[in-house]
Structure 1
Amino acid sequence: MKLLLTSGGVTNTSIRSALVDLLGKPVEESSALAIPSAQWGHPMCGPGSLRSFVTDRTPPTMTGLGWSSVGLLELTALPHVAPERWTPWVREADVLLVDGGEAVFLAHWVRESGLLDLLPELDDTVWVGVSAGSMVMAPRIGADFVHWRPDEPDTTLGLVDFSIFPHLGLFPDNTLEAAREWAASLENPGYVLDEQSAVVVDGDRVEVVSEGEWHLLGGER
């Protein structure tokens, strides 16, 4: 699986170019499945934020980018659906658009749904994450980002060896000083991303695409 791990989605030309490069074809010729599940675990999310992700019009950064088709995949429902029904939907999609919310909650449902077991088979599929949809790939997200079950560990999927601090400068608490404190609590490197930045992972290639501000804290790559 190829990863485009963003803070705010496909927000500029450089990130969109990286997406097209990972897809190997234009967005307009690619099919997408949108996964909103992380929103259910975060206290700041609700019906309005879910609607914004699905409609994605002002401006489009995920589902509204011009895909040939877009479907919705709700992970919390999948344990109640036969795998032979939903796994073809995932296999046939060119991209999984994974929304933000609560990353530990999302990690739980990626496992419980059976999607995690399928990911190693999706060599050509692109995972495009926003916020928690990107953070979930890390070994840990940092205790300050845990909202679903604050007394439980901050561990997530561990499919990459770095963590992500999103929304640099977007919210009052998302400062570089706060990010430095966050990075000091981790045992692995951490990327700090503003809304114009993303991390691309394609095999052994890990690189940042940005038209804004980003930092790598706690390690060299």
Structure 2
Amino acid sequence: MATPFKRSALTLLAATLAAGALFSSGARAEGKISIAQQFGIGYLILDVVRDQQLIEKHGKAQGLEIKVDWNSISGATAMNEALLTGALDVVSAGVPPMLTVWDRTKGKQNVKAIAALGSMPNYLLTNNPNIKTLKDFSDKDRIAVPAAGVGFQSRTLQIETARQFGDDQFKKFDNISVSLPHPDATAALIAGGSEINSHFSSPPFQYQALQNPNVHKVLSSYDILGGPATFNVL
């Protein structure tokens, strides 16, 4: 059962998105707002907003009939590109890509964050028994992430890489990082036998993968960032 705080947060989010439809040029013309979310528990709040039609409800309260177009996209790069081209009105991604698109559009489209969606640990997993720490990775390994080089997992990995190898080496593992949706990366990690032997994952996929005895955790984003940190924003 949702607590009063959670219900208030959902109401505020839905009302904000409904208000956004009033100011989107496309929404004014068509009465439509397009939203995209990624895969994982971090985006559960959007499932609730969609399933309970909260945007439509609060739109009606503002005198606006809103049609909501929901999309599922993996990776911050694709999210930002769709947002910048006008294919989407609202996207969900981690803080690093949000800051990137905010910086790129300042004084132009002026893309802004609406709200935080989640704060949970992300695990770097592997099925390679020889990898115990970050220093054990080699050019023969491949690390799956949703958006190589720009997403939350990649940026977090770069932070820890800089800490262990020096600031000038922060992109050391970019060349073995592969962009892959969490569901596909999890399947590859569990099955084994593919070039993908590691995955910087997120809930619930990391917990599913860890049920396999061949998969183990190398590190957590909480280890890197010093504790809980918002990783999904809208």
TM-score over 0.5 for the alignment? Answer: no
The structure with the largest alpha-carbon Rg is 2
TM-score, structure 2 length as denominator? 0.31
Q: Going by fraction, where is helix more abundant, 1 or 2?
A: 2
TM-score, structure 1 length as denominator? 0.32
